[in-house]
Amino acid sequence: MARVVITRRLPGRALERLHAEHDVDVWPQRLPPAPERLRELASDADGLLTLVTDRVDGELLDAAPRLRAIANYGVGTDNIDLEAAAARGIRVGNTPDVVTDATADLAWALLLALARRLPRGEADVRAGEWKTWEPSRILGADVTGATLGIVGYGRIGRAVAKRARGFDMEVLHTGRHEGVPLDVLLDRSDFVSLHVPLTPDTRGLIGERALELMKPTAHLINTARGPIVDHEALRRALDDGEIAGAALDVTDPEPLPADHTLLGARNLIVIPHLGAATVGTRARMTAMAVDNLLAGLAGHRMPNQANEPAAAGRRA
């Protein structure tokens, strides 16, 4: 029986399967364990189930000599040093595919809320500002027939494009080996939706120059990773009217402090990383993470393995 550490309570019943086979320790608090506390918890762990907010680096791996399997609760793995894990013979798994539709749906919810200025309208009703129907009050942007630029054309990007067909939109996309150049996409799009992974090449991808290329009537939506967007450049672009608005499901840092300067920007929507936050999606994510851990702890390849451990790794 192996010892498994899970860094937060998870929805769904899949953890029952893990409890049936292994000794499971679930972090009970709402906030994640601090890095030093996580190292302590992992010090005698064989398996680790982490969230995307948990940093798994070489220091943590060195503090956990028994560790041989990590299941990340999310499609991204930028919070884990995959090479360091592989060098130590540690398998790392993630939860792809299952988050695709939920994240694409949320990207569209943000796009529509941003285009039609729903937060402003809702706030005015609650503040008693809605006195009468006014033809020129809170005018939004047309979505039907507009041009949608999708940056990153993987599973989620394609799902967003599929939904755009119902709005008769022209869809532009840029990917690793296909689509239009990013500059062309930014220049022509009325809405730009980000769906690239966080890598050294995509960190700060949407900065001052990229925002200057966008139309002053364009809107930016980010449901990928916060550091893909330069937040200070975005704040200036919104305040100076270089773009019409932005909606963020992810930020840098995350969570964003309540006094962060970005939150004072005009025409900005920020929500707390809700991309995969549906009952069904979260339960399926838990099940996939458990499947990955059970396989990894048994010495088998994980169903959704994100790295290739060295066969001669000291913990293989």
CB 245 within 8 A of CB 217: no
Please state the separation of Cα 167 from the chain's center in Å.
25
Is the separation of the CB atoms in 92 and 77 below 8 Å? Answer: yes
Spatial strand order of the sheet with 3-6 comes to: 23-26, 3-6, 47-51, 69-73, 91-93
Q: Is 134 among the catalytic positions?
A: no
Q: Is 254 a residue of the active site?
A: yes
Is there a contact between 306 and 94 (Cβ–Cβ < 8 Å)?
A: yes
DSSP string, 249-303: SS-SSSSPPTT-GGGGSTTEEE--S-TT-SHHHHHHHHHHHHHHHHHHHTTS--T
Cα gap 152→192, rounded to integer Å: 11
Whole-angstrom Cα distance, residue 80 to residue 82? Answer: 6
Tokens representing 74 are 């999310």
Catalytic-labelled residue, pool 21, 40, 208, 254: 254
Annotated active-site residue in 273, 282, 284, 315: 273
Pick from 139, 116, 156, 87: nearest CA to 311: 87
195 labelled catalytic: no
The residue type at 152: G
Nearest to 196, CA basis, from 143, 247, 160: 160
Query: What tokens were used for 21?
Result: 């086979």
Burial of 77 (0-12, 13-18, 19+ CB in 10 A): buried
Q: In the block, which residue shows the tokens 């992974």?
A: 197
Select which of 3, 8, 173, 225 is catalytic. 225
Residue 189: φ, ψ to 5°: -85, 145
Residues annotated as catalytic (active site), given as ranges? 225, 254, 273
